[in-house]
Structure 1
């Protein structure tokens, strides 16, 4: 009887772990949520996780999305600090010093990301989270390469020591939220290419095989840590089907179809910035329609969903936005515009931002979002979000609790570190380089004494790999020299 009871308990445990309730899944070319179709019309708000907004402000950000049927938000899961590339403002997820990475689990690190997740959860918004930036803003790939003795930007994809460091960061992040259904998907990288911002050159040996092999390895690694969440590349979706057309010639090692064919990649992500990619203004609308059709066709061929997860055009053109959203809607596909803005909070405007009070938002964005919500068979969130948003502030006010100690990991040794005093983070208006105190309470409170739990672990790839330490890192108030979106001015 004891044996049968033990077996039954084990089966129950496995069943609970593999339950898809609350998690976004895939079924052929569609997403599903709780067994029902889930058509994504969402947005990007990278700044939500890069600035320590107050709990009240986070509640405003995500409840505003929810009441306008923006069901998914993509926000950064990276912010590296070292002597050559500073993290923005006062959020630091990883500190580098003399080749040693330190993952910050303190109030201005993953402790703050806990609050972002809690606010999104309270509003009913799902999150998509990339782990590293191809560009130098907020640290990025070149920080790993410089710190660990590499020479070229694309050493990130092939150097075993660098790959081990990336895995260590990913492991800490993923395990913290592996059982949280607020996360829709993890992404390997934001817009990974063979070439970066120019801090480091590319080797000349990087190609589509290089990036595809790296994506294969890293997506499988994340799946080994977390079976609950989807995994995507986070790339721009350049095609490799026609060498005579630049964006279809596999530029900088990106091959959308090859990446989508990877077993451990659940869906295809692609971007669209015609003004930055050399497409004339007069052709932008029609070019975007074809770009959408080609990626939807690739998704059908692979039997997987695709998302136009970043798109924008300068100057903002309502005709293009409307045509693109109509095209995605007709295809019953998915999209997330770049980028969301909250006028009352003066969130960052990179020229692509569409604010909640803008006419373009009400006439195109919110209208399209409601249509996509109807595709999913759900009523507009606007009728329910009023009650949701009224409870969000109180829901977020309580500290989100996430386990940072993985007792099942035999390689991890946890020791208690002395209490450290942390400078109080202040929210920064992303439209300027000056620090401002956020409205309401700081995410960490005033003058908080933060306990620094320090964890040192060996990399999964062996003792020659860099060690990882998790601790609390003092707040940083230096603004970055450039914004991630400044890259939009560079042609592909």
Structure 2
């Protein structure tokens, strides 16, 4: 099964679950695979269609055999780990998604330093090593029905740069990905900074991004938006304005928008449910992906970054069950 752009306009909801592909098992990779199985079972039973999971786990020094890593970046020569604690973990996730009818959005690199980051490539032959890794991942999974879209990076920025820096990189890189997997969708993964609609920080181009300009890139199939008002000195009510501003740009470009990450600190339901409603009801929006899915374990709630929505909690009922029901016309 392949998704096309027309299908994106049928609104969907999804989740980001970064830890699934990068966590380490307690003594071996079996623990990681067990966790993946449980999480993907719960995702599928929740009615979520898509997961956004990290396709990267870069290190600058090779860890112990009980740690999961996908690529070692070094100025002396980088190594892609295809072993049991490497891309075979991602294999397990992709295979599990296929079995459960889940689709995946897979970013190739993080702008931030977590699990590598763009800066780590600067000492590892930069773009050539990045493309080498992109080639390895795309070639490995391009025939999988689980792939929804390839994402060039998570939250790429170039503070103080002319927007053409990221524009040219995104145009060339998305064209390269399309050459490897012509039938698959590609997106940039930016936060949506630099869009018409206001004068405050998020609307400006100080991070080197121009949302509308990036949408003109032929080999990018849809736009991405992130929404964290508490990080940007904006009100939670402002989030609805942020969504509609991008939806207008997407309508003009003839491409759908994905509210790819969003989160609030405290009062999750009261603050985020209105964003979901705005996304569902606004022309130009194709879906949303909340940040982030979490599972309560015997040791407690891991990966709690204040934004995590834990499976089975009250916030999960509101932001997942009720949202899915509304999309399906059952609410």
- TM-score norm. by structure 1 comes to 0.62
Aligned to 2:50: 72
Q: Is the 8 A contact 2:195 2:246 kept in 1?
A: no
The residue that corresponds to 1:343 in the other structure is 296
- Asked whether the 8 Å contact 1:41–1:369 carries over to 2, the reply is yes
In 1, distance between residues paired with 2:36 and 2:69?
18
Report if the CA contact (8 A) 1:86-1:139 is conserved.
no
In the alignment, what sits opposite 1:479? none
For residues 117 and 107 of structure 2, the distance between their equivalents in structure 1, rounded to whole angstroms, comes to 11
User: Which residue among 315, 318, 329 is the counterpart of 1:360?
Assistant: 315
- From 122, 128, 131, the equivalent of 1:164 is 128
Residue from 270, 291, 297 that aligns with 1:319: 270
User: Quick one: higher RCO (CA 8 Å, sep 6+), 1 or 2?
Assistant: 1
Partners in 2 of 1:330 and 1:51 — Cα distance?
Answer: 36
Offset of residue 242 of structure 1: 6.7
Report whether the alignment pairs 1:228 with 2:179.
Answer: no
The CA distance in 2 between the partners of 1:347 and 1:293, in whole Å, is 33
- Does 1:123 find its partner at 2:100? yes
**8 A Cα contact 2:197 2:245, kept in partner:** no
1:241, distance to aligned residue in structure 2 (A): 3.4
Mapped contact 1:88–1:138 kept (Cα < 8 A):
no
Q: How does 1:217-366 map to 2 (within 5 A)?
A: 217-241=172-196, 244-279=199-234, 283-285=235-237, 287-331=238-282, 333=285, 334-344=287-297, 346-366=301-321
Q: What is the number of equivalent residue pairs in this alignment?
A: 321
Matched, 1:178 2:129: no
* Distance in 2 between residues matched to 1:254 and 1:291, nearest whole Å: 15
State the distance in 1 between where 2:202 and 2:36 align.
Answer: 37
Name which one, 1 or 2, has greater alpha-carbon Rg.
Answer: 1
Q: CA deviation at 1:54?
A: 3.9
Instruction: Give the distance between the partners of 2:282 and 2:270, measured in 1 at CA.
Output: 18
Taking a change above 3 Å as real, the CA distance of residues 316 and 254 of structure 1, as seen in their structure-2 partners, is: farther
Q: Does residue 141 in structure 1 map to residue 118 in structure 2?
A: yes
1: CA distance between counterparts of 2:217 and 2:320?
32
TM superposition shift of 1:86: 7.5
Report whether the alignment pairs 1:43 with 2:15: yes
Tell me which stretches of 4 or more aligned residues in structure 1 moved more than 3 Å. Answer: 52-56, 85-89, 240-244, 344-347
RMSD of aligned Cα (Å): 2.2
Which of residues 85, 90, 94 in structure 1 aligns to 2:67? 90
